[in-house]
Amino acid sequence: MSELHKFLFDGLPVRGSIVRLTDAWTDMLARRQANTATGAWPPPVAELLGEMAAAGVLMQSNIKFNGALVLQIFGDGPVKVAVAEVQHDLSLRATAKVVGDVGVNARLPDMVNHSNKGRCAITLDPKDRFPGQQPYQGVVPLHGDRGEKLGRLSDVLEHYMLQSEQLDTRLVLAADGKVAAGLLIQRLPVTGEGNLAGAEQHGGSQRTKEGAPSFRGQANEDAIGRNEDYNRIATLAASLTREELLELDVETVLRRLFWEEKLLRFDIQTPRFACTCSRERVANMIRALGQEEAQSILEDHGEIDVGCDFCGQQYRFDAVDATRIFTAPGDQPPVSPTMQ
């Protein structure tokens, strides 16, 4: 079963989380493999998507947000876009659009950043938007401050968190055909009501269930020792190898890395695969195309056939179905068999 473990380092301005996606990840791979229209992703693309799914869970779990966190990587390589979406309940899905050959040893720059034009976007899309409310989105390039290409997704996201969120972050990510996993270590603010110090004053450091204060932003740090604490723990995290992250259970990883630290643990959470597609959403998409375009598709193919890129579900609309889409509710014809 997929697991997310969150923890604090007792008395230190540092938090961490580790995720292992097993069934949630293999379910996505199996659905893609079973999709006769697309087939399996090339191994480097699957590895990228697995890392994105793990990273999305880690980031979503650290914010108090009722909606979807959408992580996108896009650029000018054979992978035009890769997407991982994680809901507030840690249900997740991922997909990629591949338009060219991906070499067996392709790295991130090879897939999406040929001309250093690749981008990483993180979008927070509220579940219940207020009128006129737009999703929040932050975008960073897939290169460092000196223009150098960033070769790993973890490098990109660490850069994003520092540039966009002012949070020092260390990420270790890995994925194969069985597991997608990630470890996140992040520096916390040390002053103010909503940070670690404030949590301790209100008994937050003793909590072992979800509901601890949301830690966000970068505090003014005037204690060199606190910098050293974070740097030491981040260095330990960086020593975790890809093989260890994929093969070892969570308790073994934490014990090997942080055996000298006292960890305050939260309840274990269970990420899962789930797709938010529906016939209604596809109907809305067809409606957005317009009646003339929909009629043209019907004349050419006899039906409108739409497949979900995330889960492979097929939605078919015949002429009667299409008529219902563009007809007011009170004037609609009887339901066709495909709608039942």
CA dihedral (197, 202, 205, 211) in degrees, to 10, reads -110
Is the same domain home to 9 and 134?
Answer: yes
Angular region, 61: left φ>0, alpha ψ -120 to 50, beta rest: alpha
What pLDDT, on the 0 to 100 scale, is given for residue 169? 94
Is the same domain home to 58 and 19?
Answer: yes
What pLDDT, on the 0 to 100 scale, is given for residue 113? 84
- Distance CA(133)–CA(58), nearest Å, equals 25
- Distance CA(14)–CA(6), nearest Å, equals 12
Instruction: Give the residue numbers spanning the domain of 127.
Output: 3-273
What pLDDT, on the 0 to 100 scale, is given for residue 329? 58
CA dihedral (34, 36, 37, 43) in degrees, to 10, reads 50
Handedness of CA 246, 248, 252, 257 (dihedral sign): negative
Angular region, 7: left φ>0, alpha ψ -120 to 50, beta rest: beta
What pLDDT, on the 0 to 100 scale, is given for residue 78? 92
Is the same domain home to 175 and 303?
Answer: no
- Report phi then psi at 322, rounded to 5: -65, -40
Is the same domain home to 68 and 115?
Answer: yes
Long-range Cβ contact pairs of 246-255 (< 8 A, separation 24 or more): 246/174, 246/175, 246/176, 246/178, 246/179, 246/181, 249/20, 250/3, 250/5, 250/18, 250/20, 253/18, 253/183, 254/5, 254/7, 254/18
Is the same domain home to 124 and 73?
Answer: yes
Tokens representing residue 164 in the block: 């966009």
What pLDDT, on the 0 to 100 scale, is given for residue 328? 58
Q: Does residue 185 contact residue 165 with C-beta atoms inside 8 Å?
A: no
Spell out the per-residue pLDDT of the chain, length 340, in tens.
999 999 999 989 999 999 999 999 999 999 888 876 778 899 999 999 999 999 999 999 988 778 899 999 998 889 999 999 999 999 999 999 998 899 889 999 999 988 888 899 999 988 877 777 778 888 988 887 777 888 899 999 999 998 888 889 999 999 999 999 999 999 986 544 333 233 333 333 333 333 333 334 444 444 555 678 899 999 999 999 999 999 999 999 999 999 999 999 999 999 999 988 788 888 888 888 888 888 888 887 788 888 778 877 778 888 888 888 888 555 454 544 443 3
Bridge partners of 304?
Answer: 317
**C-alpha to C-alpha distances, 81 to 74, 77, 230, nearest whole angstrom:** 4, 9, 34
pLDDT digits (tens, 9 = 90+) for 270-300: 999 998 878 888 888 888 888 888 888 888 7
Is the same domain home to 149 and 180?
Answer: yes
- Model's pTM, two decimal places? 0.81
Tokens representing residue 21 in the block: 């996606």
What pLDDT, on the 0 to 100 scale, is given for residue 132? 72
**Number of independent structural domains in the chain:** 2
Is the same domain home to 33 and 154?
Answer: yes
Is the same domain home to 186 and 316?
Answer: no
The CATH number of the domain holding residue 304 is 3.90.1280.10
Angular region, 203: left φ>0, alpha ψ -120 to 50, beta rest: left
What pLDDT, on the 0 to 100 scale, is given for residue 189? 63
Is the same domain home to 104 and 203?
Answer: yes
> Which of 273, 288, 315 corresponds to the end of one domain?
273
Is the same domain home to 98 and 22?
Answer: yes
